[in-house]
Amino acid sequence: MDRPRDDTLYPPIEPYESGMLDVGDGNLVYWEVCGNPDGKPALVVHGGPGSGSTPRSRRYFDPDRYRVVLFDQRGCGRSTPHASEPATDMRHNTTAHLIADMERLRVHLNIDKWLLYGGSWGSTLILAYAEEHPERVTEVVIQAVTTTRRSEIDWLYRGAGQLFPEAWAAFRAGVPETDDPAGLVAAYARRMESEDAAVREKATTDWCAWEDAVLSMEAIPGPPPYGSRPGREQQALVRICSHYFAHGAWLEEGRLLARAHRLTGIPAALIHGRFDLAGPLLTAWELDRAWPDAMLTVIDNAGHMGGTETRRAVLAALDGFAGKA
């Protein structure tokens, strides 16, 4: 299917198949498939963690050439149980669990290999999966590269406060029980486990206000991306984010970069905004140097959320990979 311009997404499409996959531990993961049933398999790995998949992601793929799979990671979107529910047990929601869920979904859909596309937290999960199962990955397209090192987490929730001191002071004040600025994420994670709904709601509001502050210099149309989410989705996002980041995503520091050699032979397009304050360019540059088959494209006028040039680069990469076996 032709697109009118090189920065225009493909027309909206609807799934032709969907379901709830039992992944164990009482979790059901929502999945859907759209595009061409005989097309090249591709998996969309959403960010957050805890953001859930969006219909817009379907539109990056040529529906005539791709069989596109989307899923909601544990605890968010249409997956159950939902992390906004206080009774939902978070012990069975880790990076290792999500990797296993992706493999279980691949087998369930009878897919041998697939292209992986995602960004932000999604890129961390893509890299973790691909390094664990390189034989199952044909290509990778990542927008806004992260590896969720503790140093990256520290920058986002403490270091970036140097640029937004007033917003960071409010974020810091949200957890007065800790005297250690480095312990803010863990303190928020504890608050999101409180039995008091008011405590959880206040922590959610404070966390989203900080996330929006970090993105405030980007030309993002519409309402703030975090604060404007419905309350249920907000609470799940913050609970899952703080849970993952308080544990360094259960990844040994620097593990994904150190094991990038396992990705040899997998072509990749890494697309990153030079003014990404949520995930500075350094990580993408380091990954590009460690991954021989990756090509980094730096978008000089973009940040974490991207824009026209970022969208153009993603579409070009996906279109370019569409015809490869």
Q: Which residue is catalytic, options 53, 120, 123, 242?
A: 120
Cα–Cα dist 202/188, whole Å: 10
Instruction: Tell me which residue of 97, 111, 96, 78 sits closest to 24, measured CA to CA.
Output: 97
Q: Which residue is catalytic, options 46, 82, 243, 304?
A: 304
Instruction: Transcribe 97-118 into DSSP letters.
Output: HHHHHHHHHHHHTT-S-EEEEE
276 labelled catalytic: yes
How many other CB atoms are there within 10 angstroms of residue 40's CB atom?
23
CA dihedral 208, 210, 215, 221 (to 10 degrees): 40
Q: Which residue is catalytic, options 101, 206, 276, 288?
A: 276
Cα diameter, the chain: 57
Instruction: Tell me which residue of 244, 268, 12, 247 sits closest to 139, measured CA to CA.
Output: 268
Alpha helices in the chain (DSSP H): 95-108, 121-132, 150-157, 165-173, 184-191, 197-214, 231-246, 255-258, 282-290, 308-322
Cα–Cα dist 232/313, whole Å: 33
Instruction: Tell me which residue of 321, 319, 322, 317 sits closest to 297, measured CA to CA.
Output: 317
70: three-class secondary structure by DSSP = strand
84 labelled catalytic: no
What do you get for the CA distance between the two ends of the chain, in Å?
Answer: 19
Provide the CB-side half-sphere exposure for 229 (13 A, CA): 25
Instruction: Transcribe 129-140 into DSSP letters.
Output: HHHH-GGGEEEE
Number of residues in the chain: 325
304 labelled catalytic: yes
User: What is the set of active-site residues?
Assistant: 120, 276, 304
